[in-house]
Amino acid sequence: MNKEELIALVREKASGGDATAELVSRFHPNIVAAHIEMVYDDIFNEIVEKGFSDNDFSELDNYMLIYIFSVLWDSVRNPNQYRCQVI
């Protein structure tokens, strides 16, 4: 489910399910998106705080994407600079 689909779902459910366009239009997509972002921020902050208190951040794995990159160290440009190369 992407962000647009989630916004449409929240607008439909907030207007009472099978609603007319007039009822759905009462909930502006930008306002719904702002509230969704606030909820996700609260959820994420609770998980991080729990991770700090328990010293266990394994629950954050559910909110991460896995990328297959190899990180290469390039001493020619700058010894403190890293670059990624897609495998």
In contact, 73 and 84? CB cutoff 8 Å: no
For residue 42, what pLDDT is reported?
92
* Mean pLDDT, residues 53-70: 77
User: What does the pLDDT average to over 67-83?
Assistant: 58
pTM: 0.59
Average pLDDT over residues 57-71: 73
Residue 46 vs residues 10, 36, 49, 57: alpha-carbon distances, Å: 22, 15, 5, 11
For residues 13 and 17, what is the distance between their CA atoms, to the nearest angstrom? 5
Digit-coded pLDDT (tens) for 4-56: 999 888 888 887 777 677 777 788 899 999 999 999 899 889 988 998 898 88
